[in-house]
Structure 1
Amino acid sequence: MANATKALALLGFLAMSGWAAQAQAEDLKIACYVDTPAFDQYTEDACASYWFNGPATTSAVFEVFGQDAGVSYTYQWSVTGCSASNKFCIAQVRANRDKTVSVVVTNNSTGISRTFTAVAEYWRD
C-alpha cells in the first residue's frame, strides 16, 4: 500500500509541475511546402521544390501541427507580417535560395513555449 501511495504522490507532483503539459507540447511539429504548379505537400522540418522557368520568387507556407483541440496557442514567427494568432505563416522565397523560418509556440494555458525551425528551398532554371 505504501508503494501505491508513493506512486500516486509522484504522479500528482509531475502533473502539477507541468510535466504532463510538456509531454503534450512534444506532439507539436513544424512543416512546410513551396508553392508551385505541382501538387504541394507538407514535409516536416524542411521542404523543397523545383519549377522549370518559374518566377524569381514564390511563396513558402510554414505551419505548426499537433495542437490539442480546445487549447489556445500563441505563435511568434520570425517573418514580419505573420500573425501571432495564426498557426501558419506565408513567406517569400527567392529562386535558387533557401528561407529559414522559426516560430516560438506558447501554450497559453500552461505558459510552456517551444521553438521550431524549418527551411524551404526553391530551385528554378
Structure 2
Amino acid sequence: MSFDLVVWAMDRTDAPDSVRAANARCVRGEHPQRSADPRVVAFYDALTADYPDRGPRAAAPGSPWASAPLHAAADHITMRLDEGCPDVVLETIERLAAELQLDLLDLQDGTVYPPPVRAR
C-alpha cells in the first residue's frame, strides 16, 4: 500500500478548490507549458538530495518511495510514498513545503493545506 502527496506552487490567494482543479488537470495529462517554478525546483532538489528518486538508492531498502522517479512538472511534484515511510520523511516534506510556500494536497482524502511553519 502507498499514499500520495503533491506539492503545488500556487498563488497564496488560491482556494483549495483551485489546487484540486489543477491536480485534476494533471491527472488528465494537461500541464502548463512554462518554465518550472523556482519553488518546485528547490523543493525537488532539497528532497531528493536526502531521498533520491533515481539510481540504485531510489529502490534500496529504506527508500521512502513506493514509485520512482517522482512526477515532476513546472508547478508541482507528485510523491507516491511507501506505507512504511518514516515520519522524518513526512516532516521533511512539510518543512520544505512550508519554507518554499508550497501547498500540500493529500490525494487520499483531497485535503489541501499549507504546511505548518514550525518554530525552530
Same fold (TM over 0.5): no
Q: Which has the higher strand share?
A: 1
Give the TM-score of the pair, scaled to structure 1: 0.27
